[in-house]
Chain A
Amino acid sequence: MHRLALLVVAAASVALVGTPALAHFDAAARYTHKACPASAGNRIDPINVVFTTWGTWRRAESQVEAHAGWTAVSGSAQHFVDHGGCAQMHTQRASGQGSRFHARLRGQHADPTLGWTATAVAHHEDLVLFPVPCGHAVDANGPSGSGFDQARDELERRFTSAGHVSSRVWWGNTQSFKQCDGDYAASDGWTVFIQLHQAGDS
């Protein structure tokens, strides 16, 4: 039932983009990239969170800080693709400096139904110091999902606990990514859409 509802959301999104001349949310690019131009070879992370309904990147950033408590700003840059254009992320927030949750965000096209949108790649990563110090590595697939799934679920939990509405859409972006510790991590293919505007907002 839950997934059926999500597919309806997906179908609604599809319906939005029937007229290419209109601005719309572009879900065609489902990964971030190390640099521009974007290619399949320089993919880094799967997009797994979309902020909608006044989901400007500034507002998303602020609410990630407020609801999740992720206020650290360290981390390398990644690049997002929107309507074929490649550009650097707008911001990032993390839950600390060592092993932590971490999300990178970029504002995207506004959409007639979804409103202002921002996409994000969220993950939980370990600071790997042994046996070979390599730095931050996304958690490998495990009982709670990969580090990508864990962070997506954490954001969804935090936002819905604060009253925001969320839903999930199947994106199928399950490609595996090797990490600096030699492990592999992949999204389970579900992207969560979180509405930033709440009924009580003015």
Chain B
Amino acid sequence: MLLALALALVGSVSAGGERSSAVSQSFPLYNAGEHVDGFPLAAVLRREDTANYVSFIYGDCVAEDDAGCAPPVEIQVWLSCHRNLGLYGGGAVAGAPLEQIVARGVPALIFDGGTRLELETGRATVVVFAGTRARLIRIVAALRALDGTVLPEHPLAQPARGRERGAMNC
């Protein structure tokens, strides 16, 4: 039900707006289905302010007064012209060593002790947050395009962003 609502609301996300070029372009959404690793899809967030992405949150946590909490799994989908692996300077970010891998056939980086992975596919950058490296890998395996063009465990489309040319225009 939530997924159907998400599809209806953000099935094709416009990249228009003040920070984008006049040409509005859509980008495909990816998530891990209705459940992943035992966690149900709990929320779909559309952020379009100082950041521009769609977030799929799986599972729940208990927030308290003055202390938020981290949901067990989150998948964010950004336009790669806004967020891409090129932001990390080809190997490290502000002192933190990066782990470069190939995930589902596309370039990816692992951060934060194996609890965050970013990969580029097509015009999108998919950012996965999970509590452990093992869970992170399982979620990446479960990624699928909401428009049905990419199934779980199948190769992802190669990045549209030209590495030599840097970020593409939005």
Interface residues of A (CB under 8 A from B): 7, 10-11, 13-14, 16-17, 24-28, 30, 34, 39-45, 75-76, 78, 125, 134-138, 141-146, 149, 169-180, 184-186, 188-190
Contacts and interface: CB of A to CB of B under 8 A. Distances in A.
A134 B65 contact: yes
Most chain B CB atoms below 10 A, which of A40, A41, A188:
A40
B49 A135 contact: no
8 contacts: A41-B131, A44-B67, A136-B65, A145-B51, A170-B88, A171-B94, A184-B55, A188-B49
Given A14-B89, A25-B95, A44 B112 contact: no
Contact of A178 (B53, B68, B83, B112): B68
B92 A175 contact: no
Contacts, number: 140
Contact of B63 (A14, A17, A175, A179): A179
Contact of A174 (B51, B66, B92, B94): B51
Interface string B127-155: 10111100000000000000000000000
Interface in B82-115: 83, 87-89, 92-97, 111-113, 115
B131 A189 contact: no
B111 A174 contact: no
B47 A186 contact: yes
Given A172-B118, A174-B127, A179-B68, A27 B95 contact: yes
B5 interface: no
A34 B61 CA distance: 13
B64 interface: yes
B121 interface: no
A17 B45 contact: no
Contacts of B45: 141, 176, 184
B122 interface: no
Given A143-B49, A170-B87, A136 B131 contact: no
Nearest to B64: A180
B70 interface: yes
Contact of B67 (A76, A143, A145, A189): A76
Nearest to A30: B112
A188 B64 contact: no
Most buried by A among B60, B61, B64: B64
B92 A145 contact: no
